[in-house]
């Protein structure tokens, strides 16, 4: 296990712990720009190979600056996203796509309305599916990822429960896309968006841990002091279903891009 810093400059400190490459940036903007640059380079590389680039995308406040930077690169550096295929991690259930809290709406506003990804290449779990059809729908979502060739790069945030996507504590390492119950902590973190806990959904559709782990690269972003304890448990703790992000330790190309506040509880040894 390599635990010593492997690179250090004014803005970046990085080391590897339990298989996770931890990168601590001077700011959340620096971290987001670095991840966006990597995504842009991957899109260009796949295009040069004549292949589409399959991205797994996340919602929440954390990835917003990555999307802003991708829009800038698209506009100012002529990044074509015509051959990008996307699969979002999750969606509340039930959820109408035009609702204020919908992840469809979020993704349109934050990214899709501003770049040239074909609408037919965009996949977001459908919160309007009837309850009886959810299992079949989730299997079709898995199938669509496989038909697209698997996810080249999965972007992740992390919840205070240690969830990735909406894989809450108790999620199994080989879990697939499915309907899940949200934890109380996750619901209370979302309650502001829904005008109170009583209006906050109890269910969501999420890609599984197994779905995420099949991605060829995983890039998790976490910013702010309130994420530092769960980041430290995810990187330094034993792999356990009570902190689903610890499963990422078993992946062979996973990086955590952090600001110094989110890294403040980590022990770089």
Q: Which residues bind to ligand PGA, rule: CB under 6 A?
A: 60-62, 157-159
Give which of 211, 125, 48 is closest to 40, Cα–Cα.
Answer: 48
Give the residue with the Cβ less far from ligand PGA, 15 or 92. Answer: 92
**Residue 222 C-beta: closest distance to ligand PGA, Å:** 8
**Residue 159 C-beta: closest distance to ligand PGA, Å:** 3
d(CA 36, CA 76) in angstroms, rounded, equals 14
Give the residue with the Cβ less far from ligand PGA, 127 or 159. Answer: 159
d(CA 79, CA 11) in angstroms, rounded, equals 26
Give the residue with the Cβ less far from ligand PGA, 80 or 199. Answer: 199
Give the residue with the Cβ less far from ligand PGA, 153 or 158. Answer: 158
d(CA 52, CA 112) in angstroms, rounded, equals 17
Which residues on neighbouring strands pair with residue 154, listed in sequence order? Answer: 56, 218
**Residue 139 C-beta: closest distance to ligand PGA, Å:** 24
**DSSP secondary structure letter of residue 193:** G
Catalytic residue among 49, 168, 172, 202: 168
Which two structure tokens, joined as six digits, stand for 174? Answer: 């080989």
**Residue matched to tokens 């896309």:** 177
For residue 108, the tally of other CB atoms under 10 A from its CB is: 17
**Residue 236 C-beta: closest distance to ligand PGA, Å:** 19
Pairing of strands 153-156, 53-57: parallel
**Residue 87 C-beta: closest distance to ligand PGA, Å:** 16
d(CA 90, CA 204) in angstroms, rounded, equals 7
Catalytic residue list contains 168: yes
Give the residue with the Cβ less far from ligand PGA, 15 or 106. Answer: 106
**DSSP secondary structure letter of residue 164:** B
Secondary structure of the chain: what % helix, strand, coil (to 5)?
40, 20, 40
**Residue whose Cβ sits closest to ligand PGA:** 60
The residues annotated as belonging to the active site are 168
């Amino acid at each position: 296990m390599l635990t010593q810093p492997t690179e250090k400059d004014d803005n970046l400190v990085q080391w590897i712990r339990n298989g996770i490459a931890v990168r601590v940036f001077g700011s959340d903007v620096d971290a987001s720009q670095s991840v966006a640059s990597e995504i842009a380079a991957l899109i260009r590389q796949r295009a040069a190979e004549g292949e589409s680039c399959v991205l797994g995308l996340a919602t929440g406040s954390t990835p917003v600056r990555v999307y802003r930077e991708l829009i800038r690169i698209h506009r100012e550096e002529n990044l074509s996203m015509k051959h990008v295929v996307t699969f979002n991690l999750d969606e509340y259930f039930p959820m109408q796509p035009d609702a204020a809290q919908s992840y469809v709406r979020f993704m349109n506003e934050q990214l899709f309305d501003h770049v040239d990804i074909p609408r037919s290449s965009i996949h977001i779990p459908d919160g309007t599916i009837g309850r009886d059809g959810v299992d079949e729908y989730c299997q079709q979502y898995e199938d669509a990822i496989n038909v697209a060739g698997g996810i080249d790069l999965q972007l992740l945030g992390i919840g205070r429960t240690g969830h990735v996507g909406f894989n809450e504590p108790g999620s199994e390492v080989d879990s697939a896309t499915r309907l899940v119950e949200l934890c109380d902590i996750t619901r209370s973190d979302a309650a502001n968006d829904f005008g109170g806990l009583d209006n906050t959904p109890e269910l969501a559709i999420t890609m599984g841990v197994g779905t995420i782990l099949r991605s060829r690269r995983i890039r998790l972003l976490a910013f702010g002091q309130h994420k530092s304890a769960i980041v430290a448990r995810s990187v330094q703790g034993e792999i356990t279903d009570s902190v689903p992000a610890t499963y990422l330790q078993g992946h062979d190309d996973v990086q955590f891009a952090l600001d110094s506040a989110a890294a403040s509880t980590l022990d770089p040894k």
